[in-house]
Amino acid sequence: MVSRIFRNFNLENRVHHEISKQRPQPAPHHQVNVPPEAEIGPEVPEVTDAIHKKNAPLLSLLKSVYVESKDPETESLKHAEQKEEERRPLRYRLPGGDPYGLVDITDVPKGKLSIVEALRALASHKRDPQTWTPEKIAREYSLNVKDMKAHLKFFIPFEVKIIPPKMDNVKQLKGS
């Protein structure tokens, strides 16, 4: 409270004193000496002729320059195309006619599965995990063992759990 009294003491006089002070003059701008050629506009014919005239020495130097560039994206696409060339035939197909076009597929790139193969592999592992180990499934379908272990851990095909309702204290609505 005491500090506020000293802080606000004679506040108006101090403010008026600061406002009435003369501000310092800003430093003068640096004068730029503009050459007289720069002041000439495009209307002068000598300047326009000099601009459009061919310069033979510069043209010969430009022709001697050879630039070779490589795009890293196209190189990665080439590697991807080479990987896609390694294909394996399908092991399982959908029976009968297929309206979704899955029957037309005859082979799959190595390291990938079709939907039918994935479901069959997951179901066979679920039925008999000792026979269908992740290593065996990965070897059979040309997959990575680490990826196959992750698929078997996180994807569970068609597991239906039915929880029976508790019949104790269940209130039912009676029809009229």
Query: For 142-158, what is each residue's pLDDT tens digit?
Result: 889 999 999 888 887 77
At which residue do the structure tokens 């479901």 appear? 119
Contact 134, 149 (CB under 8 A): yes
Q: Can you tell me the distance from the alpha carbon of 38 to that of 44, in angstroms, rounded to the nearest whole number? A: 12
Q: Would you say the pTM of this structure is higher than 0.75?
A: no
What sign results for the dihedral spanned by CA atoms 129, 130, 135, 137?
negative
Residues above pLDDT 70, as percent of the chain? 73
Q: Supply the pLDDT for residue 11.
A: 83
Q: Supply the pLDDT for residue 135.
A: 94
Q: Can you tell me the distance from the alpha carbon of 79 to that of 62, in angstroms, rounded to the nearest whole number? A: 35
Name the band, by pLDDT with cuts 50, 70 and 90, for residue 130: very high
Name the band, by pLDDT with cuts 50, 70 and 90, for residue 120: confident
For the chain, how many helices (H) and strands (E)?
8, 2
Q: Can you tell me the distance from the alpha carbon of 110 to that of 147, in angstroms, rounded to the nearest whole number? A: 13
- The 10s digit of each residue's pLDDT in 25-76 is 888 888 777 666 555 555 667 777 878 888 888 889 988 988 888 887 777 7
Contact 88, 110 (CB under 8 A): yes
Q: Supply the pLDDT for residue 43.
A: 64
Average pLDDT, the chain: 78
Angle at 150 between CA 81 and CA 158, to 5 degrees: 105
